[in-house]
Amino acid sequence: MLNEPIVVAPLNPIQYTRIVEAALIEDLGRAGDLTTDAIVDADIRVETAIAARTAGRVAGLDVALHAFTSLSDAFVISIHRDDGSDVAAGTILARISGPARPLLSAERTALNFLGRLCGIATATRNIVALVADIGAKIICTRKTTPGLRVLEKYAVRVGGGLNHRFGLDDAMLIKDNHIAAAGGLRIAVERAQARLGHLVKIQVEVDTLAQLEELLTLRVDAVLLDNMSVEDMTQAVHMVDRRMIIEASGGITATSARAIAETGVDVISVGWLTHSVASLNVGLDFLGPSPGA
């Protein structure tokens, strides 16, 4: 049974217009669509449908449709399933009618965006469901495709997850290499605190319970437990005793997520949601000549 659609504030076109247009330029290159321009008459109009080939959650439909409308303002588009909808295989997501040439030229770019973002939303939805009754939140990371971060983090939200930092300027996250370069955990935290703006939070990554014990003598907002065992995470939650937000990170899978959530951590960060998730299979189907063609 399909879930009720999740409602997430849509992206503003200014957030994806240049991304989509850059992808179109990459595909069209210096000479345009040689195949389509050679064999399809300029006055041919067609009716098509974007459909899900496999079941999943819809995300990025507006982004995909922008690929078409960037090449022509003559398309008539009707959306059948909004972002956040769970759909079965074969579901029509949108219908597009209009000139065949720009439609064919934009097809692959549109489907690349849509498949990628639907895949992220679907994978996020699935892992969120595994821990929903426990209360731990699933979040993404900065392990995103270069240039697509705003889109991929949007897809995570559509999947029911939350976002970690969008960039290095969001908050201070002191990781193991920062600690090594600074000369120790305490000095790294103290230097961060000396430069801290009043709205900026500090999170520190720890690998061991001994590091956590040292961190608890300092003033920070959150701790990241990196690649700890479930047993050590459970002990860490007891040690922190709600004094800061606890994030679990490192090698987390759909198989291990529930056991990690049961330790009592607040958030679970999952890098593969954006760096190696499988795209959803979506396609563009020709339905026939466009009415009035």
**How do residues 226-283 score in pLDDT, each as one tens digit?**
999 999 999 999 999 999 999 999 999 999 999 999 999 999 999 999 999 999 999 9
Domain 13-121+278-289: which topology?
A: Aldehyde Oxidoreductase; domain 3 (3.90.1170)
Q: What's the mean pLDDT in 109-120?
A: 98
CA nearest 58: which of 182, 155, 135?
A: 155
Q: What's the mean pLDDT in 36-44?
A: 96
Instruction: Give me the pLDDT at residue 199, please.
Output: 94
Residue tagged 């969120």 (tokens): 128
Q: What's the mean pLDDT in 8-20?
A: 97
In percent, how much of the chain has pLDDT > 70? 98
Please determine, for residue 219, whether its predicted confidence score (pLDDT) is greater than 90.
Answer: yes
Compute CA distances 216 → 220, 221, 235, 279, whole Å. Answer: 8, 11, 14, 41
Report pTM. Answer: 0.95
1 pLDDT band, cuts 50/70/90, is very low
Q: In what order do the strands lie in the sheet with 137-139?
A: 137-139, 267-269, 245-249, 222-226, 202-206, 172-174
**How do residues 140-198 score in pLDDT, each as one tens digit?**
999 999 999 999 999 999 999 999 999 999 999 999 999 999 999 999 999 999 999 99
Write down the mean pLDDT value for the chain. Answer: 96
Active site amino acids: 108, 143, 175, 205, 226
CATH class of 129-275: alpha beta
Domain ranges of the chain: 13-121+278-289, 129-275
Rg (CA), the chain: 23
Please determine, for residue 42, whether its predicted confidence score (pLDDT) is greater than 60.
Answer: yes
Instruction: Give me the pLDDT at residue 292, please.
Output: 61
